[in-house]
Amino acid sequence: MPEYPTALGAASKDEITLLGHSLANDVMGEVGFGELAFWLATQRRPTPGETRVFEAVLAALADHGYTPTAIISRLSYLSAPDSVQGALAAGLLAGGSRFLGVTEDCGRFLHDVLVAQEQLPTDDAGWDDLARATVQTQREAKKFVPGLGHHVHKDGDPRTPRLMAIAAEEGVTGPHLALFAAIGRVHPEILGKTLPLNGAGVCGAALADLGLPLELLRAFALLARTAGLIGQLAEELRHPVANDIFLSVDLNNRPVDPDPYVPESF
């Protein structure tokens, strides 16, 4: 019979433990929710400074207004009000590569650059050199630098300097943020134009500096968004818009003739 080890939740008749601690006595009332999420993901309790940076990231990613995730959750709740879990799940499913993926892409990108170095830079000049080489390499490969650019905040994304400042205050700036900041300083030399370091990107850099698993960076964006989607559903309950959205599409449908699909020929 296989056994299934876990360090997470466990229960006996008189006790419930989480991560080896008494849930009732040591966790409830003692551990904030952001702190707990970090602890569950890493099986180590974060410092207060790490928690503050982590929660700042979650705040930055929680809600961006009428994104596809928000529209989808509201429409799903309109259609299936009996299933709150379905409305949240449907919204999260839109948290894929295009809209929530920059956080993960940026964290992984920076990480890949860093692990390829024999030795990391020790001063800003060194980081700038590494950033120049990094941007140059991407440019030559005709690839974007993840986290660079924003379609709205063209003169700067206000989340970026703020998150960097919080990380600095808490003493948890690491190599990912250092490289990301350096990319922000030097890219105009190479690209010939100044682009903002975006909020999703800086969040990825910060999460990587916090030592969170790279495979799950997107998951933290999704955790943040879950709180945001609950906010969307709560607003929908009192100030509904989903039916208007639905009708704005349905009533403006235009029937057209079928356009038979022709596969690529050889």
By CB under 8 A, the residues from 21 to 80 that bind a copy of itself are 22-25, 27-29, 31-34, 36-37, 40-44, 52, 54-56, 58-60, 62-72, 75-76, 78-80
From 47, 48, 92, 138, residue interacting with a copy of itself (rule: CB under 8 A): 92
Site string for a copy of itself, 142-161 (x = CB under 8 A): ----------xxxxxxxx-x
Nearest to 242 by CA among 81, 35, 49, 31: 81
Size of the site for a copy of itself (CB under 8 A): 147
**If DSSP states are collapsed to H, E and C, what string results for 130-148?**
HHHHHHHHHHHCCCCCCCE
Q: Which positions from 202 through 231 interact with a copy of itself, judged by CB under 8 A?
A: 208, 211-216, 218-220, 222-224, 226-228, 230-231
- Cβ–Cβ < 8 Å for 203, 193: no
Strand order in the sheet with 21-22: 9-11, 16-18, 21-22
Residue 124: CB minimum distance to a copy of itself, A: 17
Residue 164: CB minimum distance to a copy of itself, A: 11
Q: Does 83 bind a copy of itself (CB under 8 A)?
A: yes
Residue 43: CB minimum distance to a copy of itself, A: 4
Q: What angle do CA 86, 239, 200 make, to 5 degrees?
A: 60
Nearest to 232 by CA among 58, 65, 57, 90: 65
Cβ proximity to a copy of itself: between 70 and 190 the closer is 70
Q: In sequence order, which residues have a C-beta less than 8 Å from that of residue 12 and are 6 or more positions away?
A: none
Residue 138: CB minimum distance to a copy of itself, A: 20
Q: Does 2 bind a copy of itself (CB under 8 A)?
A: yes
Q: How far lies 153's CA from each of 32, 98, 123, in Å?
A: 32, 18, 29
